[in-house]
Amino acid sequence: MDNSRPPIPAKRYFTIGEVSDLCGVKPHVLRYWEQEFTQLRPMKRRGNRRYYQHHEVLMIRKIRDLLYDQGFTISGARNKLHEIVQTEGDKRRNGEVLLDGIDALEAGDSGMGDFPDSADFEDSEPSNDGHDLPSGHAAQQRLQLVRRELFEIRDLLSAVR
112-150 pLDDT, tens digit each:
444 444 333 334 344 444 444 455 777 777 788 888 888
Compute how many other C-beta atoms are within 10 angstroms of the C-beta atom of residue 89. 15
Express each pLDDT in 78-120 by its tens digit. 999 989 888 887 877 777 554 444 444 444 444 444 444 433 3
What Å distances lie between residue 4 and 17, 50, 60, 74, 144, CA to CA?
Answer: 18, 25, 15, 23, 34
- Backbone phi, then psi, for 121, in 5-degree steps? -105, 60
> 13-160 maps to which CATH number?
1.10.1660.10
pLDDT for res 129: 47
pLDDT score, position 156: 77
Integer Cα distance of 20 and 32 in angstroms: 13
